[in-house]
Chains A and B, each alone.
Chain A
Amino acid sequence: MPAAPDLNLDHVAKLARLALTPAEKAQFASQLGDVLHHIEQLAKVDVTGIEPTAHAFPVVNVWAEDVAQPGLSVEAALRNAPAQRDNMILVPKVVE
C-alpha cells in the first residue's frame, strides 16, 4: 500500500471516462485524500495466507438451459435510446 495516497485525478478520470471540472478536481482531491488516508489503516491488518472473499456465499457454475427465451421487442429495446434511426441506435462517427 502506498505510504501517501498518490491519486492522479486526471489519469483516473480518464480511465473512468468522466470529465471533471477544475473545481471538481480540487474538491475530489481533498475529499478523496481524506478517505484514502482513512483507508491506509488496512495496511496494518495481517492478511498472510487469507483467501479473498468476492461473494459471501459464492455460487459457482450456474448453468442455464441453452434455449431461446422471449425477449424485448425492437421497439421496447430502443425506447430509451437517446437517438435512433431505422431500428438502430445512432452514435457519433467512430471511424474516420
Chain B
Amino acid sequence: MAAELFFKSIEELGALLEAKQLSATELVRAMIARRQAVDGRVKAFNSSDDADALAQAAASDARRAAGQSRGPLEGIPVGLKDVIAVAGQPLTASSKMLANFVSPYDATVTVKLKNAGAIVWGRLNCDEFAMGSSTENSAFGPTANPWDLTRVPGGSSGGSAAALAAGEVSATLGSDTGGSIRQPAALCGVVGLKPTYGLVSRYGLAAFASSLDQIGPLTRTVTDTALMLGAIAGHDPHDSTSFKAEIPDYRAELQKRRGPWRLGIPKEYFGAGLDPAVAAAVEQAIAFYRAQGCTIKEVSLPHTQYCLDTYYIIATAEASSNLARYDGIRYGHRAKGAKDGVDLYAQSRAEGFGPEVKRRIILGTYVLSSGYYDAYYLRAQKVRTLIRQDFLKAYHEVDALLTPTSPMPAFKLGEKSDPLALYLCDIYTIGVNLAGLPALSLPCGFTPAGLPIGLQLIGQPFREADLLAMAHTYEQAHDWHTKHPSL
C-alpha cells in the first residue's frame, strides 16, 4: 500500500481518503517512512516535526469521521519552503542567521492551508534567504536532484521541488522572486506556479525582494496546482500589496476553458545558450498546441536582454533593505565579543550570512548608495517599465506566451561556481517577476540522459484560470507527470 502512495496526486489521495480506504494518519506515517528512507540522499528537508504532523493527521481523521471534511486538501501533507512561517516551528531561511529562530505566528498561506484541512509538515531546504538557482547556497548543505543525485534540483525552492519529486510529500509551497518556483519545478519534473503579484499574501514569508516575491504551489499535476492555488489565493489585510481579486474555483474552470488559445512564442527566448534537448522538447509542445487548433504566433519582447541586469539591481536593492533587519539585536544570530552596538551589527551579519547573501547585500547597498542611485536603481526601475510594457503589448495579440522554463536541464552540483553563470539560469523566468505576471512550469519531456525538461506558460495578470487550463490541456495528452525517479 505505502509504496503506491508516494507519487499519488492530491486528487488521487483525496479520493482514497474520501472513500475511507486510507486515513490521513496512515498517509502521514507512510510519508514519514518515505522521508526516512530517501532523504539521507535527497536532503530536501531542513527539519520535520513528525509528532506534530501525526497530531494534525489525527485531527483531520476526526473531522472526516464527523462529516466535517474541509475540502479537497483535507488530510493531505503539504511541505513548506523554510522561508514560510509556521507558528511554533523553526524558520531558518536555510541561514545560520536564523538557525535557532522559531516562528511566533503563522504565515497567511499557512493559516489558509490549515483551514483547508491540509497537514502542514516539514521545513524544506532552499538557497539562503531564497537567493540562488541551485539550492547550493544553503547553510544546511545542498539538496540533490532525485532524478540524478549528482545534480542540483534547481533553486531557490530546490527542497520543495525535490521533496515532491522524491515522493516525500504530496504537494509543497515555494516562493518565486526570479524563477525560484518554476526553475526547480522544471529541473525536478513537477508543476510549479508563480501567481500574479498580489494574488497570494506574502505575510509570514521571509522577505527577499518585496516587489517581486510571490508564494506559489509545486505539485504533481495541474489539477493539484489548481486546488492548492484555490486554497492559498485571496486578499489579506496583513499584506498591503495584496490584491482584492475574485478567486474562481480553479479546478472547475479547468473543465470550462478549452481554448483554442492564441499563443505567442517570444523569439528572444530561443536564442544562444538554449540546450538543444530543451529546445526540441519545447518545439514539440508548440506543435502539440498547434495541432489542438491554437494559433501560434512569433512575438518580440525587445527588452528581454535587459531583464537580468534590471533584476539584479532591483532584487539586490530590495534585499539589502529587507535584510537590514538581521542585526543581531531582537532575534537571529548575535556575535559574541563585539566592541559596541555598530560592531555588533557588522559582526553578527558577517557570521550569520553566507557568501551569496553578502554579495547581494553589498551589490544592493551599492546601487542604492549616494551618487549611484539614479544611475543604477532608478534607471533599472525605468527599464522595468519597458520590460513590463513589452509583455502587455504582446498580450494585445496573444493570450499567453510559451517558452522554455530554464535554458538548461539540471546541472552538476558544484558545476557553476561563478555567480554570474548562476544568474544566467534565470534568464527565462525573471522577466515574469519584473512584470508581475503569472507563469507556470510543467513537465514537457526528458533529455537523452533522463533529466526532466520544463515548459513555461506565461499568462496575463490575474488570469491563472486560463493558464491552468492551457497547462491542463497539455498534461491530459502527455504522460510525463506519471514518470518518477527511482530512489
Contact = CB atoms under 8 A, between A and B. Distances in A.
A binds B: yes
Interface of A: 1-2, 7, 9, 11-13, 15-21, 24, 27-28, 31-32, 34-36, 38-39, 41-43, 45, 47, 50-57, 59, 62, 64, 72, 76-77, 79-83, 89, 91-94
Interface of B: 100-102, 104-105, 196-198, 211, 237, 240-243, 303, 305-306, 308-310, 312-313, 320, 324, 327-334, 338, 340-347, 349-350, 353, 355, 358-359, 361-363, 365-366, 369, 372, 375-376, 378-386, 388, 418-420, 423, 434-437, 461
A13 B362 contact: yes
A19 B347 CA distance: 6
22 contacts: A2-B375, A11-B369, A15-B365, A16-B349, A17-B346, A18-B358, A19-B349, A19-B350, A21-B350, A38-B309, A41-B309, A43-B375, A47-B382, A53-B388, A55-B211, A56-B388, A56-B435, A57-B197, A80-B102, A82-B328, A83-B334, A92-B341
SS class, residues of chain A in contact with chain B = loop
B342 A47 contact: no
A34 B419 CA distance: 9
Q: Which of A20, A38, A39 is most buried by chain B, counting CB atoms within 10 A of its CB?
A: A39
B194 to A, nearest CB: 12
A55 B343 CA distance: 34
A80 B331 contact: yes
B185 to A, nearest CB: 22
A59 to B, nearest CB: 6
Given A50-B382, A91-B341, A92-B344, A18 B353 contact: yes
SS class, residues of chain B in contact with chain A = helix
B452 to A, nearest CB: 29
Contact of B331 (A51, A81, A93): A81
B379 A1 contact: yes
Contact of B211 (A47, A56, A89): A56
